[in-house]
């Protein structure tokens, strides 16, 4: 069995993080108890900056998912959860947010060690967004309301009203790019609405969800309400998608697996499905934009989280007139990015999450070169780093519409820069993709900006900004980027169902 090891060049690792990955991570949360996988098996999660084993976690599979679903069902139907008032649920979520905030440094370090992201970014982006997510939905717990409906039945007086009820037992399968944040996006709203949950974190990054489970029990959320099953997608994940007693599955990850989730839901019990999938988002810069702002915006759009963002601005369209001005600025910016281990506070960009992801991204780099695209910068692993899954920030130019690097989601720090002549041309090119998660437009012309915002087939359009997120703002996809909106009031739709009640009040 692999021994957790951490490089001696990480002097700042929090003592609680050391304790957690040194032992407690070997158990997962089912029915309020910390248990091993039924099979007794574990798997190893790695530090992508060193390629060394980081911790062992339970390899949960179908049997564990069954146990977790039984616990979630019991907690939903007969346990303490239905007896908890909305106000109490809200207070628990608020308290959970406070506890996460109090342990923020531990969480930031766990994310960095497991995922590779710079700890400086995890501290100011991931963790505050997680805290805010729980606070936001703490507020909603007391506001999940039905309606009274003015019905028209001749000769009869009727009271007709709706109740917004929980969907039930919810399976949540999350990815590795923002491990704790994706857990928060899914858990906050599910709990506010009164559901119970079986959550499966990604095999590459299971640690922060397990630590979150400890805080969930600490705030008094009753046993079985949240179950956290670590395991592989093909076993634990597939068992959730096809489980006959799960009422809804929420999935974030690849479009390919999204298809499998829907098939499994259809082949089993027609559980409700919401999917947040991949993207190939167009980032459109017009000549009349503030080019200083737009150049930095273009870099942040693609390089945030090392390009491992479903909404990454991976297709950069630049108006012909300023193409030769803007692309060199982006190249210059790219070359200043400091790559290194995420635990080094001076690092701008860490390694990719895993060896598979490294293979995947570097194979796209090869494909781009083979297909004749020009590497304006990057294109390989950085020479100065001999270990860790690092890829240099890369800008491709001379990209043709049918090239693989322009059509497929790379999920790495790789952007294709493409010139365009006018708004109609770029609107058509921007929409020429099977995806539709996000898009951005940079211009000072408000007419052009809003026309584009209307025409772009994407779930989010940013104007003169990129990667803006807020717990109150809905997020989700058009086309094969999925369906259902997470965050904001919109997410309540995914986690409640409407019951219509008719009451006969006698003759009119
Ligand atoms: P993935 O396979 O879609 O993984 C996402 C989640 O689904 C993980 O928890 C995974 O578990 C689980 N899963 C995998 N196969 C499953 C199955 N057959 N049934 C049920 N659950 C299953 O994503 P990936 O392989 O990690 O990354 C591949 C590509 O997906 C990336 O390059 C990127 O294009 C895309 N991606 C998108 C997002 C996003 O935010 N939209 C996030 C991550 C990846 P395991 O990890 O344990 O296998
Ligand atoms: Mg890892």
Dump pLDDT digits (tens) for 447-466.
999 999 999 999 999 999 99
Mutate to test the pocket of ligand 1, among 43, 175, 260 (most ligand atoms within 8 A of CB): 175
Query: In angstroms, rounded to a whole number, what is the distance separating the alpha carbons of residues 357 and 374?
Result: 22
Digit-coded pLDDT (tens) for 314-331: 999 999 999 999 999 999
Beta strand extents in 36-193 (DSSP E only): 42-47, 52-58, 148-149, 156-166, 169-173
Query: In angstroms, rounded to a whole number, what is the distance separating the alpha carbons of residues 147 and 165?
Result: 12
Closest CA to 250 of 490, 483, 497, 489: 483
CA 372, 373, 374, 379 torsion-angle sign? negative
* pLDDT at residue 508 is higher than 90: no
Beta strand extents in 140-271 (DSSP E only): 148-149, 156-166, 169-173, 196-200, 226-228, 248-252
Q: Which atom of ligand 1 lies at the shortest distance from residue 174's CA?
A: 9
Query: In angstroms, rounded to a whole number, what is the distance separating the alpha carbons of residues 459 and 310?
Result: 12
DSSP labels, 138-168? HHHGGG----EE----TTEEEEEEEEEEE--
> What is the CA(47)–ligand 2 centre distance, in A?
5
Q: Which atom of ligand 1 lies at the shortest distance from residue 176's CA?
A: 43
pLDDT at 12: 81
pLDDT at 470: 98
Query: In angstroms, rounded to a whole number, what is the distance separating the alpha carbons of residues 142 and 92?
Result: 12
Q: Which are the contacts of 50, defined by CB distance < 8 A and separation ≥ 6? A: 6, 7, 341, 387, 388
Digit-coded pLDDT (tens) for 330-359: 999 999 999 999 999 999 999 999 999 999
CA of 254: how far to CAs of 163, 175, 186, 308, 452, in Å? 34, 9, 17, 12, 27
User: What is the bridge-based pairing of β-strands 496-507 and 156-166?
Assistant: antiparallel
Kindly state if the Cβ of 68 falls inside 6 Å of ligand 1: no
* pLDDT at residue 7 is higher than 60: no
* pLDDT at residue 299 is higher than 70: yes
> What is the CA(365)–ligand 2 centre distance, in A?
23
CB 113 within 8 A of CB 21: yes
Kindly state if the Cβ of 241 falls inside 6 Å of ligand 1: yes
Beta strand extents in 232-292 (DSSP E only): 248-252, 272-276, 282-285
CA of 134: how far to CAs of 98, 180, 193, 210, 245, in Å? 9, 12, 12, 17, 27
Mutate to test the pocket of ligand 1, among 115, 239, 253, 475 (most ligand atoms within 8 A of CB): 253
**Secondary structure in 3-state letters for 403-442:** CHHHHCCCCCCEEEEEEECCHHHHHHHHCCCCCCCEEEEE
> What is the CA(429)–ligand 1 centre distance, in A?
27
Closest CA to 45 of 14, 80, 6: 6
CB 136 within 8 A of CB 93: no
What is the pLDDT of the chain when averaged over all its residues? 96
Under the banding of pLDDT at 50, 70 and 90, the label for residue 3 is very low
Three-state DSSP state, 400: coil
Neighbours of 357 (CB within 10 A): 22
Query: In angstroms, rounded to a whole number, what is the distance separating the alpha carbons of residues 364 and 100?
Result: 38
List the beta bridge partners of residue 394. Answer: 414
Under the banding of pLDDT at 50, 70 and 90, the label for residue 9 is low
Under the banding of pLDDT at 50, 70 and 90, the label for residue 11 is low
Average pLDDT over residues 63-75: 98
Query: In angstroms, rounded to a whole number, what is the distance separating the alpha carbons of residues 127 and 104?
Result: 6
Kindly state if the Cβ of 239 falls inside 6 Å of ligand 1: no
Mutate to test the pocket of ligand 1, among 257, 260, 391, 459 (most ligand atoms within 8 A of CB): 257
Tokens for 283, please give them: 């980032």
pLDDT at 1: 37
Average pLDDT over residues 421-445: 98
Average pLDDT over residues 396-425: 98
Catalytic residues: 276, 310
Under the banding of pLDDT at 50, 70 and 90, the label for residue 4 is very low
CB 227 within 8 A of CB 76: no
Digit-coded pLDDT (tens) for 489-503: 999 999 999 999 999
């Amino acid at each position: 069995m692999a021994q957790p090891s951490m490089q001696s060049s990480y002097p700042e690792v929090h003592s609680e993080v050391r304790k957690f990955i040194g032992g407690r991570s070997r158990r997962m949360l089912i029915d309020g108890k910390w248990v091993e996988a039924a099979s007794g098996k574990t798997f190893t999660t790695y530090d992508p900056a060193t390629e060394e084993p980081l911790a062992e976690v339970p390899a949960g599979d179908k049997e564990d998912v069954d146990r977790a679903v039984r616990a979630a069902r019991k907690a939903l139907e007969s346990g303490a959860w239905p007896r908890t008032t909305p106000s109490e649920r809200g207070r628990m979520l608020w308290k959970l947010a406070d506890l996460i905030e109090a342990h923020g440094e531990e969480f930031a370090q766990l994310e960095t060690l497991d995922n590779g992201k710079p700890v400086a970014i995890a501290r100011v982006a991931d963790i505050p967004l997680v805290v805010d997510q729980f606070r936001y939905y703490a507020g909603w717990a007391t506001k999940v309301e039905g309606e009274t409906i003015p019905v028209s039945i001749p000769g009869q007086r009727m009271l007709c009203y709706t109740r917004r009820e929980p969907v039930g037992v919810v399976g949540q399968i999350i990815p590795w790019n923002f491990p704790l944040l994706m857990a928060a996006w899914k858990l906050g709203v599910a709990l506010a609405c009164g559901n119970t949950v079986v959550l499966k974190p990604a095999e590459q990054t299971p640690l922060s969800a397990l630590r979150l489970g400890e805080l969930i029990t600490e705030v008094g959320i009753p046993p079985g309400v949240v179950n956290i099953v670590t395991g592989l997608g093909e076993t634990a994940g597939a068992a959730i998608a096809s489980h006959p007693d799960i009422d809804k599955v929420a999935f974030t990850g690849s479009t390919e697996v999204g298809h499998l989730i829907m098939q499994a839901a259809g082949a089993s019990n027609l559980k409700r499905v919401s999917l947040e999938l991949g993207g190939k988002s167009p980032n459109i810069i017009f000549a009349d934009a503030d080019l200083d702002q737009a150049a930095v915006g273009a870099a942040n759009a693609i390089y945030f989280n090392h390009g491992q963002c479903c909404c990454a601005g991976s297709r950069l369209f630049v108006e012909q007139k300023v193409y030769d001005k803007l692309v060199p600025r982006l190249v210059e910016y790219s070359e200043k990015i400091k790559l290194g281990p995420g635990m080094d506070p001076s690092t701008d960009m860490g390694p990719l999450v895993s060896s598979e992801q490294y293979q995947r991204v570097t194979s796209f780099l090869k494909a781009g070169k083979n297909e004749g695209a020009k590497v304006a910068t990057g294109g390989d692993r950085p020479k100065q780093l001999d270990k860790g899954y690092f890829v240099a920030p890369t800008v491709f130019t001379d990209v043709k519409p049918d090239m693989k690097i322009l059509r497929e989601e790379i999920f790495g720090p790789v952007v294709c820069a493409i010139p365009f002549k006018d708004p109609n041309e770029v609107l058509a090119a921007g929409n020429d993709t099977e995806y539709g998660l996000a898009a951005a437009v940079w211009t000072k012309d408000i007419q052009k900006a809003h026309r584009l915002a209307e025409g772009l087939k994407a779930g989010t359009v940013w104007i003169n900004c990129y990667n803006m997120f807020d717990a109150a703002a809905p997020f989700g996809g058009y086309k094969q980027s999925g369906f259902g909106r997470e965050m904001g009031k919109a997410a309540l739709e995914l986690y409640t169902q409407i019951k219509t009640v008719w009451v006969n009040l006698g003759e009119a």
